[in-house]
Structure 1
Amino acid sequence: MSCCISPPPDEDTPRTPKQQNRAIERALAVERRVAKRTVKVLLLGAGESGKSTVQRAMKAVHSPEGLTAEECERRMEAIFLHVCDSARTIATAMTAMRIPFTDPENCQPCVALLEAAAGQHPVEWDNSLLMACRTLWADQGFRLCFSRSREYQLNDNTDYFFNALDRLTSLNYVPTPLDVFRSRAKTVGIYETRINFPNNILCTVTDVGGQQSERRKWAQCFAGVTAIIFVVATSEYDQLLREDGRTNRLREAFRVFREVWEDRFLATTPIILFLNKTDLLAAKLPISDFRVHFPEYNQEVADYESVTQYLIRRLHKLGARPTSI
């Protein structure tokens, strides 16, 4: 008896309609299984509220691999720009506010060096610029201007990186996870991070830019959202928007939250409020009276606990939907 073995079907061989239909059904079944175990979270909030930091922290805490060494290294450019841009911003503010350097002979050349490197592409890590920043940070006039940073636009965590300049200028420096969390780069567009949770649950966390010009992109992310995390930067009660220099940042966060809450496409979507930058809030309250910027706050004490509870009550009130009778 003879037998023959049929060769496997060639991928280029046309399939019958029945075979094509089965292939489509299998693909759809796979998609349904993936969709069933996928949780889609959308991060929203006003500009500079810290959404990207929350996204990175979620991955670091919940993803088995956390932040990889490669991801930390990729933040070196953002950290370098953060430090140099902040130094230039403070130096410019010193001129506008007429705050002199206590050691102009050493500081003025540092400012000139930083200005000459502004806008340089491609960005390259340059220890000489960081050493210039360290010289400026040692100047009392520079420090005084930094202490008044609520009067102009300065990146959060500037003091964190300035205080770490000895480490940043060391040989073989690699950002730590905390450095990564503290660094900031403006979010333009839509960024998605996938996190694998236990029990085969996949969570996609989408971060969309919060600046006014970026909010028109929010609606395209609403479809299929499981929940929204709305991030509020609590420490920005005495700061103005970078976009217009007039609007109080915390009041803008209240307004944007109300808009999100009232959006008809999100009527059944859970919204989680995330009060961010509470460490900065606690440090700022003793030197910047909350009541000056929010006169409607009528408490005798404006300490961390009282202000935090006030913010929670106010946000809950903004999120109250009328009850039908």
Structure 2
Amino acid sequence: MRYIHAKPFSPDEVEDYRKIVFSNLVTGMRAIIDTMDELGMAVQPNSRKYIAFVDNEPSLSTGEDFPKKYLEALRVLWADKGVQECYAKRNEYALQENLPFFFAKLDEVFAPGWQPGHEDILRVRSKTTGITETKFQIKGDVTFRLFDVGGQRSERRKWLSVFSETNAVVFITALSDYSSGIVEDLSSNGMVESLVLFESIVNSQWFVKTAIILFLNKADVLAEQIKDPNQQVKPYFQDFPGKPGSYNDALEFFKQKHLSLVRGRDAPYLHVTTAINKDNMVVVMSAVTDSIVRDQLRSMAII
């Protein structure tokens, strides 16, 4: 949202994201190694000495470059055959999707003075805790206050404090989650978890007069994922009637899965999105803005 509306990140925020990139690399690799242990897999003998580097994540001071000793360790581990075989199972073990992006530019991010750009910040993964607010000036004199709330189970109890004056709720489902577990409970399906939460929100007494906007996000990931014979929809959703490998069939199926849960209210505004595609999000957010403004005018009996 800030990228779309040209609201730049402060130097302190950029620095925070830079540190999170390092954390994503180290903790992401640690998660892979832990998963390999669970599966009885092992790294190659020449890679073993580097595992100790990801056992503990060092804290970085402001402006401190990433420790050079981690560059070789992470490069060797990422290239390891066992690591790649394990990462291929990432959907089953809730491993980070952003690792290939950052490992592909490992030398760049470890270069002295490196600062993350917009594309890097878009791919950073950081758990949302609590509630954060960002203000935007959109279409002249329309001010939007955007509240980002944590989606993890432990964070949901905090939402009530922002419900009373909410004009719209944007609910985001990751289309790629149909074959994924969730961090809190790997035995749970990510898409099923999202559907259950969506049903509770769209039919909640708190949102009877609130515009509900549904983003089916990561359409680009779904388009690639559905090509994999091992990640078809049918094994996870037995009622899927579409063709194997069909992006359009899968997309329509998940659209209807969400819409069928809506009871006693207007259907939500639904948009298929790719959050890392600025052009796509500009079009989508323009439509979202119009929808929210139109709903507010209708509630005031102006239209």
Q: By the TM > 0.5 criterion, same fold? A: yes
Q: Indicate the residue corresponding to 2:227 in structure 1.
A: 286
Q: Percent identity?
A: 28
Normalising to structure 1: TM-score of the pair? 0.75
Q: Secondary structure at the match of 1:80?
A: helix
> In structure 2, do the counterparts of structure 1 residues 65 and 212 end up closer, same or farther at CA, with 3 Å as the change threshold?
closer
Q: Deviation per CA, 1:276-313, whole angstroms, max 9, x where unpaired?
A: 12222222112211111111102233421111111111
CA distance in 2, matches of 1:179, 1:86: 16
1:235-254 to structure 2, matched below 5 A, reads: 235-254=176-195
- Alpha-carbon deviation of 1:188? 0.9
Q: Deviation per CA, 1:190-236, whole angstroms, max 9, x where unpaired?
A: 01111122412221110011111111111111111111100001101
CA distance in 1, matches of 2:15, 2:59: 19
Q: Indicate the residue corresponding to 1:133 in structure 2.
A: 74
CA distance in 2, matches of 1:164, 1:151: 25
Q: Secondary structure at the match of 2:132?
A: strand
CA distance in 2, matches of 1:244, 1:87: 20
Q: Which amino acid aligns with 1:255?
A: V
Structure 1 moving runs of 4+ over 6 Å: none
Matched, 1:89 2:34: no
CA distance in 1, matches of 2:247, 2:149: 29
Q: Secondary structure at the match of 2:15?
A: helix
CA distance in 2, matches of 1:178, 1:67: 13
Q: Indicate the residue corresponding to 2:98 in structure 1.
A: 157
- Alpha-carbon deviation of 1:95? 2.2
Matched, 1:221 2:162: yes
> What is the RMSD of the two structures over their aligned residues, measured on CA atoms?
1.9
Q: Deviation per CA, 1:19-65, whole angstroms, max 9, x where unpaired?
A: xxxxxxxxxxxxxxxxxxxxxxxxxxxxxxxxxxxxxxx11102x43
Larger mean CA deviation between 288-297 and 314-323 belongs to 314-323
The answer (yes or no) to whether the contact 2:226–2:246 under 8 Å persists in 1 is yes
Q: Which of 237, 256, 275 is 1:313 aligned to?
A: 256
Q: Secondary structure at the match of 1:193?
A: strand
CA distance in 2, matches of 1:244, 1:145: 19
The answer (yes or no) to whether the contact 1:83–1:130 under 8 Å persists in 2 is no
CA distance in 1, matches of 2:10, 2:68: 24
Q: Deviation per CA, 1:230-285, whole angstroms, max 9, x where unpaired?
A: 00011011111211222111001001000001111210101000011222222211
Q: Which of 106, 110, 135 is 1:169 aligned to?
A: 110
- Alpha-carbon deviation of 1:69? 4.9
Q: Secondary structure at the match of 2:129?
A: coil
CA distance in 1, matches of 2:169, 2:124: 24
Q: Secondary structure at the match of 1:59?
A: coil
Structure 1 portions without partners, runs of 5+: 1-57
Normalising to structure 2: TM-score of the pair? 0.81
Structure 2 portions without partners, runs of 5+: 267-303
Q: Secondary structure at the match of 2:244?
A: coil
The answer (yes or no) to whether the contact 1:222–1:265 under 8 Å persists in 2 is yes
The answer (yes or no) to whether the contact 2:163–2:206 under 8 Å persists in 1 is yes
Q: Which of 55, 65, 78 is 2:20 aligned to?
A: 78
CA distance in 1, matches of 2:69, 2:85: 24
Q: Which amino acid aligns with 1:82?
A: N
> In structure 2, do the counterparts of structure 1 residues 100 and 310 end up closer, same or farther at CA, with 3 Å as the change threshold?
same
The answer (yes or no) to whether the contact 2:90–2:96 under 8 Å persists in 1 is no
Structure ranking higher on relative contact order (CA contacts 8 Å, 6+ apart): 1
Matched, 1:183 2:124: yes
Q: Which amino acid aligns with 1:308?
A: L
For this pair of structures, how many residues does the alignment match?
A: 261
Q: Which amino acid aligns with 1:78?
A: I
The answer (yes or no) to whether the contact 1:150–1:239 under 8 Å persists in 2 is yes
Larger gyration radius, structure 1 or structure 2: 1
Q: Secondary structure at the match of 2:143?
A: strand
